[in-house]
């Protein structure tokens, strides 16, 4: 066997060995992703002019509604005990008569829970820009990444990812009052 043939054969064996490491192992499945949740209590929001009680429609700055959440997850290639979760969510925003100008800043949150414990929470301000003569728009967040610890006993299924509107104290009181009715 010539040296060139022997070298090509050895190169093929090494190459196939390296490529075999790129595939999931036998009987391995993709990682389980966390459960996406849009809590009903923070799924809708009404923002009123400062100092207004919300009794009059003319005081409404904007009304918002969570539309959906989607995501994907994968194992961190450098750490098999880290699940990298990428999430996006969308809201619908309706302009109210009290909105001055065409822009509204809307605080929303993305949180990770395990059972009843909140492990991580991010508050993000989305800016809604209403074109002329348009009263309703949709806004989608960019991709938001969250890294979750996993191990053989704790998979992504142990977590939930929640998205909703970040309510003010006054908005929380309105939600509670509505629940009592």
Give me the percent of the chain exceeding a pLDDT of 70. Answer: 84
Q: pLDDT (tens digit, 9 = 90+) per residue, 123-176?
A: 999 999 999 999 999 999 999 999 999 999 999 999 999 999 999 998 898 888
What integer pLDDT is reported at residue 4 of this predicted model?
42
Q: Is the pLDDT of residue 77 over 70?
A: yes
Burial of 36 (C-beta count, 10 Å sphere; 0-12/13-18/19+): middle
Q: pLDDT (tens digit, 9 = 90+) per residue, 105-120?
A: 999 999 999 999 999 9
What does the radius of gyration of the chain's CA atoms come to, in whole angstroms? 24
CA atoms within 13 A on the CB side of 143: 7
Instruction: Write down the pTM of the prediction.
Output: 0.80
């Amino acid at each position: 066997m010539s040296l060139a043939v022997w070298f090509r054969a050895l190169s093929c064996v090494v190459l196939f060995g390296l490529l075999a490491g790129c595939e999931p192992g036998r009987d391995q499945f993709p990682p389980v992703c966390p459960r996406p949740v849009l809590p009903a209590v923070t799924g809708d929001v009404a923002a009123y002019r400062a100092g207004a009680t919300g009794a009059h429609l003319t005081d409404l700055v904007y009304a918002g509604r969570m539309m959906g959440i989607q995501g994907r997850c994968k194992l961190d290639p450098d750490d098999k005990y880290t699940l990298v979760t990428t999430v996006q969510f969308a809201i619908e925003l309706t302009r109210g008569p009290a909105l001055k100008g065409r822009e509204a800043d809307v605080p929303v949150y993305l949180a990770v829970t395990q059972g009843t414990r909140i492990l991580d929470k991010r508050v993000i301000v989305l800016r809604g820009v209403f074109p002329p003569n348009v009263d309703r728009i949709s806004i989608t967040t960019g991709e938001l990444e969250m890294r979750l610890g996993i191990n053989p006993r704790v998979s992504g299924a142990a977590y939930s990812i929640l998205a909703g509107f970040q309510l003010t104290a006054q908005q929380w009181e309105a939600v509670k009052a509505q629940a009592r009715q």
